[in-house]
A and B are shown apart, each in its own frame.
Chain A
């Protein structure tokens, strides 16, 4: 089975058909997707700005991570579930859409950057400026999430 065939099969599932046919389901799920994405991007940006030394510099890094990361992960779950539901309703259209593919590549890179950062975050100083590797991780993360929001917006103008 090719990718486009899987997308077409997904599009024919009862849930996908219901979302595509309903007047209010797509806007409702899209609103929840945007709300989730907004909280993911906002919480990631707060931490990245601290890593770059541009804000929250007097707040201990551990304390900030403890208060921000639950927001990131719970919002990401909401955004991902809603995103999957939106995808299923027009799967074959999104599958061939270039901004959609770029968005997914950026999401993969953002996840890899986050995993790489957190695997070595235990030895970061709790106070004061962060080392260069943490600053680079913060800058890459900010750029990738900017790209994710930007390509997400472009999907709406190219489908």
Chain B
């Protein structure tokens, strides 16, 4: 079923147009990496701020209010460039187990980031209400950081799978 979809997609005019241009894949991958840079760096700064016990700089909720909207915008850029790469080389992406794992990790990252944003909205320092919320905030921060590393690793390993 997926193989047939890949065959159909790779025979469409748009897929052949993209794959026929030597510059297209490197150019789109460059934009994909640049968008990934913004998303991963903002998530790293925000989540390490949550994990830090020493209180300096902006509060986590201020950082989240500034960074999360930017993260959503660049996740859209990642989605669009990822879709373009999939249209260009459907079999390389859709038939790869590593690609499927990467997509699951991306969904988990989006859900975790949305949950963190909502939690910070309720409790700006993740410490006012209860120890339980503080532990949950830290667990979420670690989960997001691990997901970021795993997504970057999976993205690179698609080329080797």
A5 close to chain B: CB less than 8 A: no
On chain A, the residues within 8 Å of B149 by CB distance are: 35
A41 close to chain B: CB less than 8 A: yes
B66 nearest CB neighbor, chain A only: A56
A38-B37, A153-B33 are known contacts. Are A27 and B157 too (CB-CB below 8 A)? yes
0/1 per residue, A134-154, Cβ < 8 Å to B? 000000000000100110011
Q: How far is the CA of A41 from the CA of B37 in the complex (A)?
A: 6
Q: How far is the CA of A34 from the CA of B149 in the complex (A)?
A: 10
On chain B, the residues within 8 Å of A42 by CB distance are: 37-42, 44
On chain A, the residues within 8 Å of B160 by CB distance are: 27
0/1 per residue, A37-53, Cβ < 8 Å to B? 11101110110000000
Q: How far is the CA of A121 from the CA of B42 in the complex (A)?
A: 24
Q: How far is the CA of A71 from the CA of B40 in the complex (A)?
A: 12
On chain B, the residues within 8 Å of A63 by CB distance are: 57
Docked-complex contact B26 and A39, CB < 8 angstroms: no
Interface residues in A11-49 (C-beta closer than 8 Å to B)? 27, 30-31, 34-35, 37-39, 41-43, 45-46
A151 CB to nearest B CB, Å: 9
Interface residues in A72-118 (C-beta closer than 8 Å to B)? none
Q: How far is the CA of A105 from the CA of B58 in the complex (A)?
A: 37
B25 close to chain A: CB less than 8 A: yes
**How many residues from A make CB contacts under 8 Å with B?**
28
On chain A, the residues within 8 Å of B156 by CB distance are: 27, 30-31, 34
Our pick among B30, B45, B152 for the contact of A31 (Cβ within 8 Å) is: B152
0/1 per residue, B26-38, Cβ < 8 Å to A? 1101100110111
Docked-complex contact A39 and B44, CB < 8 angstroms: yes
Q: How far is the CA of A88 from the CA of B68 in the complex (A)?
A: 39
A63-B57, A150-B30, A157-B25 are known contacts. Are A38 and B36 too (CB-CB below 8 A)? yes
Known: A34-B156, A38-B40. 15 other contacts (CB 8 A): A31-B156, A37-B37, A38-B36, A38-B37, A39-B40, A39-B44, A42-B41, A43-B41, A46-B41, A46-B45, A149-B37, A150-B30, A153-B26, A157-B22, A157-B25
User: Using a CB–CB distance below 8 Å, which chain A residues touch chain B?
Assistant: 27, 30-31, 34-35, 37-39, 41-43, 45-46, 55-56, 59, 63, 66-68, 71, 146, 149-150, 153-154, 156-157
